[in-house]
Amino acid sequence: MRKSKTRNLAGLSLRCTFVAGLIAALAPRAETARNPIVHADVPDMAMIRVGDTYYMSSTTMHMSPGLPIMKSKDLVNWQIASYAYDILEDADDLNLNNGKSAYGRGSWASSLRFHNGTFFATTFAGNTGKTYVYATKDIEKGPWTLVSFRPSLHDHSLFFDDDGRVYMLYGVGNLRLVELESDLSGLKPGGLDQVVITNASRVAGENIGLPAEGSQLFKVNGRYYLFNITWPRGGMRTVIVHRANKITGPYEGRVALQDKGVAQGGLIDTPKGDWYAYLFRDYGAVGRIPYLVPVKWEDGWPVLGVDGKVPDALDLPESKGLIPGIVASDEFERKPGEPSLPLVWQWNHNPDNRYWSLTARPGFLRLTTGRVDPGFLSARNTLTQRTIGPECSATIAFDVANMKDGDFAGLALLQKNYGLAGVKTDASANFIVMVNAQSGSPTEVERVPLHQKTVFLRADCNFKDMVDEAKFFYSLDGRTWTAIGNVLKMRYTIPHFMGYRFALFNYAAKSPGGFVDFDFFRVSDKIPRDK
């Protein structure tokens, strides 16, 4: 009997173990976030938390509108909430006029603060020589007010101290602290103006390629913490942190993180008291992509990473994807009261608003040529969205019936070494054309005669493991696709300083006045597998 009872108990135990395992397998998993938190070009982030909402600003340089503000409830899922400005300045280089451009320039790294019920987003531009201070009571709806002043304070960090004084800390290598007027309208005459850290990169070694920059200043438990990036020669982008008991110093510093080249950013805490560093990584043609790194405090220092490494998984909610928060499809249909363009869109440089419309033909975006341009990179009113990784695809349809001889319109992947597929009108005949500029010079690779007024185009991007390749396709019915041209080897270049972007374009090579009507733009985070 004992032996039989033992067998029965053993069998019961096995059955219970099996059932428990089955229940565990079927139970919903607590999914976690993964790095990068945004696999898209969102560089030079600055971040704040107001209550339970996080706000993040970033760099888009020559794009218009500019200085994007994104919001999140969980540090992982972000959506574009607003822009601090419509145009930075009305100038030839920002307007793509008279042969000038602002590629790679315009507004650079921003600072984002919330102080006494007001949000402040500040930036600077080397091509204008100014520092810009935008302010609003409502960061999502605006309006924003602007004051600007000279000089242009490189990679500055705006800082409101507890005694009511206002500062910007900025510079490269030797980091300088300047005091501002109380209304932030400029440098305070006779105010503090001194280098507070000389050769800030020295904590990372003597052989430095990129001196310390990207300043972001914080005050935690009465102590000042300054985050910077530096880059030792033969090494990788590195996070360094300095701390001091007074804002003027003396500062002591250390290397805070050296892993995967993830660097430049600052600190953010959660309502629960957890801390993270927000940083970004150069990741090939898709651009500079944000990461989150857990932070613990030890002996008054922020300690970044898990055993000094950037983790793949994070104890945060999982991502729901970047569509539609960062990029989004658009059918170009607008209800009364809706904005003309969703916030995911930005113009390549300042637009000429006379030559685009969503009302001339409801349900379509009309781009009309307003002048003659020598090529794609010179064309005004090119409308763009980010590409996203690890892969993505965009499809458009447009009506070419009203193009003029010499016009060229279609879908591009915008960077210095761009690629595009479009319709070119040549001697009253239309051709579907693929152009590849990966060598730095545009080359027409293939052209196919077009005998109908509507055409579909598609661009597929593969950013997996920095493969950085794109292919273009066309269709006459929106169902059957044919590859055109060759593979575009995408490459991030410093002259443009930006990840590749999907772009809708139309420009004239001979005479202005022609137009095209875009029916839709549809984006996916998967590349179609054509049969």
Same domain, 415 and 516: yes
Run of H or E residues at 18 = helix 2-26
What is the signed CA dihedral for 389, 112, 345, 415, rounded to 10 degrees?
Answer: -60
Work out whether the CA dihedral 297, 299, 303, 306 comes out positive or negative: negative
Run of H or E residues at 21 = helix 2-26
pLDDT above 50 for 5: no
- Residue 224 and residue 218: Cα distance in Å, rounded? 6
pLDDT above 70 for 106: yes
Q: Could you tell me the CATH number of the domain that includes residue 446?
A: 2.60.120.200
How do residues 330-360 score in pLDDT, each as one tens digit? 999 999 999 999 999 999 999 999 999 999 9
Same domain, 273 and 360: no
Residue ending a domain, choose from 285, 312, 335: 285
Structure tokens at 137: 């009571």
Average confidence (pLDDT) over 489-501: 97
Residue 304 lies in a domain: no
Same domain, 372 and 494: yes
- Residue 54 and residue 67: Cα distance in Å, rounded? 16
| Other Cβ atoms within 10 Å of 88 Cβ, number | 29
* Predicted pLDDT of residue 31: 73
pTM of the prediction?
0.93
Domains of the chain: total: 2
Angle at 309 between CA 304 and CA 310, to 5 degrees: 80
Average confidence (pLDDT) over 283-290: 98
Q: Could you tell me the CATH number of the domain that includes residue 266?
A: 2.115.10.20
Same domain, 359 and 277: no
Same domain, 357 and 235: no
With a CB cutoff of 8 Å and minimum separation 6, the contacts of 121 are 57, 67, 69, 84, 110, 111, 112, 134, 135, 144
Structure tokens at 324: 């539609």
Same domain, 279 and 401: no
Same domain, 117 and 231: yes
Residue 129 lies in a domain: yes
Q: Among residues 400, 419, 434, which one has the least CA distance to residue 506?
A: 400
Structure tokens at 283: 């990741």
Residue 296 lies in a domain: no
Residue 324 lies in a domain: no
Which residue did the predictor score with more confidence, 20 or 129? 129
Same domain, 272 and 378: no
Domain, as residue range, for 488: 346-524
Q: What percentage of residues in the chain have a pLDDT greater than 70?
A: 94
CB 331 within 8 A of CB 363: yes
Residue ending a domain, choose from 245, 265, 285: 285
pLDDT bucket at 531, cuts 50 / 70 / 90:
low
Residue 35 lies in a domain: no
Same domain, 372 and 512: yes
- Residue 326 and residue 80: Cα distance in Å, rounded? 6
Residue 331 lies in a domain: no
Angle at 206 between CA 200 and CA 211, to 5 degrees: 40
Same domain, 501 and 371: yes
How do residues 21-64 score in pLDDT, each as one tens digit? 444 444 444 579 999 999 999 999 999 999 999 999 999 999 99
| Other Cβ atoms within 10 Å of 221 Cβ, number | 7
Same domain, 146 and 261: yes
CB 458 within 8 A of CB 393: yes
Residue 190 lies in a domain: yes
Same domain, 281 and 353: no
Residue ending a domain, choose from 285, 302, 329: 285
